């Protein structure tokens, strides 16, 4: 900021941001830094008490020591004063008098040696203005790999510790509380005012108790110093100050937009928050106005479209206003309806070239989808809950939300309300598939059997095939090759009769896995080759890398690790591009076995450990026979390397970020061949 104001071409800088982000503090720091650069110093003009734009000029004159006396108009005397001065003028809290912005332009014109630094929740929108959006304080990264040192050095955490020590002298970061303090600062979005108010509570509340109360932040964030302006003594007052400056149409839009969690697109805002009966500005203009007034943040979305959202303390205030408005039920229903339609459309793209975009869209809306599911369950809407959960099942599996997704599906199918047979069958199938994923095979079979019975009663033939497929998956995970072959054979015939090539490819894939399990690699290769041909004909983004991985398994057990590695790496590249963690894990397993088979023990252990960490993160529980194969590979690596080297490689692999683990796997080169470990019985999907 100081360097910007030193530039000859800069006369006006406006610091913008939400209440509590530290605009005034930054302005004072800049003024102190630049005081010596100006012959006549820096002058601070507090405008928070001023609500009448006509009083801005007298407030500036008073701060400069110009008395409102004599015959000449005060504005003329102010112009004459500034003409001969070289100074920095700081206008603090300009948002409620923003209509006086032309006065700032006039002051700059009158004073060639004048620089103006403004703090405001909204831009002045006059010529020559340079805006600097003041960001919240920095936080440690959220990927689980931040070191204690990185967390402790984060500006938000440093401020919390500083203010906590002011009320509790013995407060310190410890290994026991550092993650809790980091979580508190993250829940407060790094807002300095919110962090200071929360830290003051450590006088009576230890950090874990403070975090537990963060579900409702505003009642907690009170008790600011008596020397602070009233609007900064509580977080609610800080947000209310901005809310009170909005027009009625902007207030209506603001409180409706508070229903979104984690942000929203313009399309979502238009569907959920528009007011067709309002004569005010449309949603686009309204969102732009709220962003200009620092009540919304903006970022680029995964598809290049802008994404907006609220800091959580701001959103909580908006939800309070929404609850008071009488609009909450209608807004929450509109939110559910929008996300039902969005996910249904994304699901249609999942099996085609739009899969990556669909994955990104669904992952970007994960928090809103949780909210929508909760809404459907809370109002007992079985059709909506089961439809939304069924459409999300594939995304949950591949994006690493299997445990959470299964929980939603189990709750949805347990609802007593009515739903269409097709919707319920698909929800039952999804719950069964995720139960297989977690090796809960009794539950998977019960769910699939219910889906089969319901489909047969309703003559829903696709549902019959889906249920048979899932019963085959469960049998496969139990190691019952005969039952798996029979079920998948039945489903294959049905899918072919129905003209369902995607399901046909899946059935062929699992018949190939069963053939491999019973020691018939030639038959397995034929099934996988047939599946690959279907996937390639369809241009199917999932099927092609799945078939390549299956063929890699056959190559490895057949004693050709070089061919296996090439196939695994092609498969992994596809899954990496699709961001599908479940399938990435299976490829890491395969490439780790190639590394072990070719004498690259350290690399094998690193990849095995990375795979284990990923499986735990996504809730993947290997089937018993697959777990035995993993343990066998780990034991072989331990013997090859020795305990110390194994432990070091394992520790490094467990903490390896996923992107780095994939890069290592893709960079592996086939080395010296040794006898290959047993082939993987791939987990069903």
The whole-number average pLDDT for the span 219-248 is 69
Please check the confidence at residue 280 and state whether its pLDDT lies above 60: no
Q: What confidence tens digit (pLDDT) does each residue in 600-643 have?
A: 999 999 999 999 999 998 888 888 888 999 999 999 999 999 99
Q: What one-character DSSP code corresponds to residue 114?
A: E
Give the pLDDT of residue 673: 40
What burial class does residue 75 get, using C-beta atoms within 10 Å of its C-beta: 0-12 exposed, 13-18 middle, 19+ buried? middle
Give the pLDDT of residue 163: 85
Q: What confidence tens digit (pLDDT) does each residue in 356-383 have?
A: 899 999 999 999 999 999 999 999 999 9
The whole-number average pLDDT for the span 58-70 is 82
Whether the CA torsion 670, 673, 678, 679 is positive or negative: it is: positive
Q: What confidence tens digit (pLDDT) does each residue in 387-411 have?
A: 999 999 999 988 889 899 999 999 9
Q: Does domain 249-326 have CATH number 3.10.290.10?
A: no
Residues listed for the chain: 685
Q: What one-character DSSP code corresponds to residue 420?
A: -
Nearest to 224 by CA among 250, 244, 195: 195
Helix (H, G, I), strand (E, B) or coil at 571: helix
Percent of the chain whose predicted confidence (pLDDT) is above 90: 56
**Higher local confidence (pLDDT), 20 or 464:** 464
Please check the confidence at residue 418 and state whether its pLDDT lies above 90: no
Helix (H, G, I), strand (E, B) or coil at 48: coil
User: pLDDT category, 572, cuts 50, 70, 90?
Assistant: very high
The whole-number average pLDDT for the span 494-502 is 96
pTM: 0.77
Please check the confidence at residue 139 and state whether its pLDDT lies above 90: no
User: Is the CB of residue 463 less than 8 Å from the CB of residue 455?
Assistant: yes
Give the span between the Cα atoms of 13 and 25, in whole angstroms. 15
Q: Quick one: three-class SS letters along 8-42?
A: CCCCEEEEECCCCCCHHHHHHHHHHHHHHHCCCCE
The whole-number average pLDDT for the span 31-56 is 89
Please check the confidence at residue 648 and state whether its pLDDT lies above 80: yes
The whole-number average pLDDT for the span 55-61 is 90
Give DSSP secondary structure letters for 621-653: ---HHHHHHHHHHHHHHHHHH-HHHHHHHHHHH
Q: Which CATH architecture has domain 545-667?
A: Alpha Horseshoe (1.25)
Q: Does domain 2-133 have CATH number 3.40.50.300?
A: yes
The whole-number average pLDDT for the span 16-42 is 88
The whole-number average pLDDT for the span 527-553 is 93
Mean pLDDT of the chain: 88
The whole-number average pLDDT for the span 63-69 is 80
Q: Please report, for the chain, the start and end positions of each structural domain, with discontinuous segments joined by +.
A: 2-133, 148-236, 249-326, 545-667
In whole angstroms, how large is the CA radius of gyration of the chain? 31
**Higher local confidence (pLDDT), 564 or 219:** 564
Give the pLDDT of residue 70: 64
The whole-number average pLDDT for the span 583-595 is 94
Please check the confidence at residue 440 and state whether its pLDDT lies above 60: yes
Q: Quick one: three-class SS letters along 548-610?
A: HHHHHHHHHHCCCHHHHHHHHHHHHHHHHHHCCHHHHHHHHHHHHHHHHHCCCHHHHHHHHHH
Please check the confidence at residue 278 and state whether its pLDDT lies above 70: no
- Tokens 């061949």 belong to 673
User: Is the CB of residue 283 less than 8 Å from the CB of residue 254?
Assistant: no
**Higher local confidence (pLDDT), 160 or 430:** 430
Give the pLDDT of residue 665: 95
Give the pLDDT of residue 676: 39
List, in sequence order, every residue forming a beta bridge with 87; answer none if it has no partner. Answer: 114
Give the span between the Cα atoms of 393 and 401, in whole angstroms. 9
Percent of the chain whose predicted confidence (pLDDT) is above 70: 93
**Higher local confidence (pLDDT), 303 or 221:** 303
Break the chain down into helix, strand, coil percent, rounded to 5: 65, 5, 30
Give the pLDDT of residue 639: 93
Give the pLDDT of residue 666: 95
Whether the CA torsion 230, 234, 235, 236 is positive or negative: it is: negative
What is the number of other CB atoms lying within 10 angstroms of the CB of residue 481? 18
The whole-number average pLDDT for the span 657-662 is 93
Alpha helix positions (H), 414-520: 421-437, 441-457, 461-478, 481-498, 501-517
Give the span between the Cα atoms of 199 and 661, in whole angstroms. 38
Give the span between the Cα atoms of 385 and 182, in whole angstroms. 34
For residue 66, give every residue at least 6 positions away whose Cβ sits within 8 Å of its Cβ, in sequence order, or none. 74, 77, 78, 81
| Max avg pLDDT among 2-16, 164-178, 467-481 | 467-481
The whole-number average pLDDT for the span 119-127 is 91
């Amino acid at each position: 900021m100081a360097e910007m104001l030193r530039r000859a071409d800069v006369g006006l800088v406006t610091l913008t941001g939400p209440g509590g982000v530290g605009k005034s503090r930054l302005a004072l720091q800049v003024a102190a830094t630049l005081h010596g650069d100006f012959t006549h110093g820096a002058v601070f003009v507090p405008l928070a008490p001023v609500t009448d734009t006509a009083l801005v000029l007298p407030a500036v004159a008073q701060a400069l020591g110009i008395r409102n006396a004599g015959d000449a108009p005060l504005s003329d005397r102010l112009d004459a004063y500034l003409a001969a001065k070289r100074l920095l003028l700081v206008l603090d809290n300009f948002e409620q008098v923003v209509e006086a912005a032309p006065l700032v332009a006039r002051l700059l014109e009158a004073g060639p040696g004048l620089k103006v630094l403004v703090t405001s929740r909204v831009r002045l929108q006059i010529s020559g203005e340079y805006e600097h959006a003041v960001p919240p304080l920095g936080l440690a990264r959220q990927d689980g790999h931040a070191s204690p040192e990185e967390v402790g050095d984060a500006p938000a955490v440093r401020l919390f510790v500083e203010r906590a020590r002011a009320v509790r002298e013995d407060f310190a970061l410890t290994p026991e509380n550092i993650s809790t303090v980091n979580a508190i600062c993250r829940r407060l979005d790094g807002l300095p005012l919110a962090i200071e108010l929360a830290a003051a509570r450590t006088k009576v509340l230890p950090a874990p108790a403070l975090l537990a109360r963060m579900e409702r932040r505003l009642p907690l964030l009170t008790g600011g110093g008596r020397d602070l302006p009233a609007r900064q003594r509580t977080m609610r007052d800080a947000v209310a100050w901005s809310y009170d400056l909005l027009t009625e149409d902007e207030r209506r839009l603001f409180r409706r937009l508070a229903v979104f969690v984690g942000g929203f697109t313009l399309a979502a805002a238009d569907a959920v928050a528009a007011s067709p009966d309002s004569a005010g500005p449309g949603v686009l203009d309204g969102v732009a106005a709220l962003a200009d007034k620092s009540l919304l943040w903006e970022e680029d979305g995964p598809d290049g479209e802008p994404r907006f959202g609220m800091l959580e303390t701001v959103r909580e205030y908006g939800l309070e206003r929404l609850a008071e408005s009488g609009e909450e039920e209608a807004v929450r229903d509109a939110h559910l309806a929008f996300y039902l339609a969005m996910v249904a459309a994304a699901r249609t793209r999942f099996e085609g070239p739009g899969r990556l975009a669909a994955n990104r869209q669904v992952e970007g809306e994960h928090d809103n989808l949780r909210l929508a599911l909760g809404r459907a369950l809370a109002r007992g809407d079985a059709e909506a809950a089961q439809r939304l959960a069924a459409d999300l099942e594939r995304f949950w599996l591949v994006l690493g939300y299997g445990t959470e997704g299964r929980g939603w599906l189990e709750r949805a199918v347990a609802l007593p309300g009515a739903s269409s047979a097709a919707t319920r069958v698909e929800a039952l199938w999804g719950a069964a598939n995720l139960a297989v994923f977690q090796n809960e095979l009794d539950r998977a079979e019960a769910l699939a059997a219910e889906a089969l019975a319901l489909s047969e009663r309703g003559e829903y033939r696709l549902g019959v095939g889906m249920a048979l497929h899932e019963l085959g998956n469960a049998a496969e995970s139990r190691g019952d090759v005969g039952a798996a072959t029979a079920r998948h054979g039945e489903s294959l015939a049905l899918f072919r009769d129905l003209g369902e090539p995607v399901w046909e490819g899946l059935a062929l894939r699992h018949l190939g896995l069963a053939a491999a399990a019973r020691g018939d690699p030639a038959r397995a290769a034929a099934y996988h080759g047939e599946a690959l041909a279907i996937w390639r004909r369809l241009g199917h983004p999932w099927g092609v890398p799945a078939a390549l991985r299956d063929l890699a398994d056959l190559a490895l057990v057949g004693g050709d690790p070089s061919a296996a590695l090439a196939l695994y790496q092609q498969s992994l590249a596809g899954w990496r591009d699709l961001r599908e963690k479940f399938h990435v894990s299976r490829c890491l397993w395969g490439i780790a076995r190639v590394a072990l088979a070719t004498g690259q023990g350290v690399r094998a252990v690193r990849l095995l450990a990375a795979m284990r960490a990923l499986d735990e993160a996504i809730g993947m529980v290997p089937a018993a026979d697959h777990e035995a194969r993993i343990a066998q590979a780990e034991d072989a690596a331990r013997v090859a390397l020795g305990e110390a080297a194994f432990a070091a490689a394992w520790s490094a692999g467990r903490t390896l970020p996923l992107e780095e683990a994939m890069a290592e796997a893709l960079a592996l080169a086939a080395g010296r061949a040794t006898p290959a470990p047993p082939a993987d019985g791939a987990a069903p999907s």
